[in-house]
Amino acid sequence: MENNKISVGLDIGTTKIVAMIGRKNEYGKAEILGIGKSKSLGVHRGVVNNITQTIQSIQQAVQEAEAESGLKIEEVTVGIAGQHIRSLQHSDYITRPNSDLVIDEEDIDRLINQVHKLVMLPGEEIIHVLPQEYKVDGQGEIKEPIGMYGGRLEANFHVVVGQVSSIRNIGRCVKSSGLELDGITLEPLASANAVLSQEEKEAGVALIDIGGGTTDLAVFKDGIIRHTAVIPFGGNVITEDIKEGCSIIEKQAELLKIKFGSAWPGENKDNEIVSIPGLRGREPKEITLKNLSKIIHARVTEIVEQVYVEIKNYGHEEQKKKLIAGIVLTGGGAQLKHLKQLVEYITGMDTRIGYPNEHLAGDSDEEVASPLFATAVGLVMDGLKRQERKRIEKAAEEEIKNEAETAAQPAIDDDEIIAPPKKERRSFLDKLTERVKDFLDNAE
């Protein structure tokens, strides 16, 4: 199989690192050819804090995926998350020199580049600039201004900001693992692409991705992303609490959480008890399930409340910003028993668990369609989309070359022949990827 048809997602999480290889099947769905996962040792709350360990974990995951698929992995699409990600709303405008011409791509690029001049905190960089809606000469609620007349073009932007050192460190880990960086994507966006349907994004929906170290939020309305946030708590703090509250070791706490844990304390009887073997010659410990779920409930409530504050910050309570499709939960933490009920109770919003099967081929493994792999599936899809774009651009360039060769006209008309094709606007992440690549190449 040609390698340019496959895409590899690399999800560098706090608890696990996943390498996933996929390709598009003839129905345009993503078919997963191999998965590798390893324990993530050098990542804390979504941020790399030990390069050497992270490189080892990446290599292990990659080798596993290669072994399962029989393919060699060269390039990867990686996700960025972590507690350093924050987002803000910003409005900006440009005045066009000539209002007799219609608004085109270049005007929009100019407007977006202007947002880039925003002053950030030291060490921060803009990762993503997402136009929300445009105004032309004061007329609002315009979704696509291209082709309209107007002198003043303004827009509201959703700007996502992150620490440039954290992003470079991820690039560094990928490069030192012997891989090329194909693209960088915001993890909440990747998960959203894997789990949400277009109707949900139109109606208004909040995607909550509960990972090991962080909980990511992405809010969509009218098909556009409106708000993103990363909350620096995830499944790991729940495990920590169980470990402290029951005086047991981490491994036992994690198992307890997965096997017997519930986010709703009411349903366990007082007499349900789990016995845990003591450490080296000590008596076994007895833990009531009621106690266990009380501990879990307290922590999960805290996480959900913080996410709900962010949903309210977006403006969910205003009539026209209402999220009609409610909440979708994904990520490993979404597998906690009775979490859906708790989230509905706290927020009063309809909730479902999101499985990344929205765009997967029908015959995919059960395992792949687990909420655990939402981000990885999203990253694979993102890589596939990027390839599609590259192919279209390449085809267009070749077409121009051929046209230029066949049209042997006098040199004066050259400008007319070689009108560049309408390229899709490169996203900020593509530009960011380029910058990180350049940085790494020059840093060697």
3-state secondary structure of 65: helix
Residue of 103, 104, 109, 112 whose CA lies nearest to 152: 103
pLDDT value of residue 4:
63
Q: How many CB atoms lie within 10 A of CB 357?
A: 17
Amino acid identity at 82 = G
> pLDDT tens digits for 91-135?
999 999 988 999 999 999 999 989 988 888 899 988 888 899 999
Report, as ranges of residue numbers, the positions in the chain whose pLDDT lies below 50.
414-419
pLDDT value of residue 364:
81
pLDDT value of residue 415:
47
Supply 69's token pair.
């698929």
Give the C-alpha distances (Å, rounded to integers) separating 437 from 5, 42, 51, 80, 183: 22, 22, 17, 15, 10
3-state secondary structure of 164: helix
Q: Where are the beta strands (DSSP E) in 222-354?
A: 224-231, 273-276, 285-288, 327-330, 351-353
The structural domains of the chain, ordered by start, are: 1-83+165-196+358-444 (3.30.420.40), 197-357 (3.30.420.40)
**Separation CA 21–CA 286 (nearest Å):** 44
pLDDT value of residue 417:
45
Q: Are 96 and 152 in contact (CB under 8 A)?
A: yes
pLDDT value of residue 204:
96
* Beta strand 273-276 pairing with 285-288: antiparallel
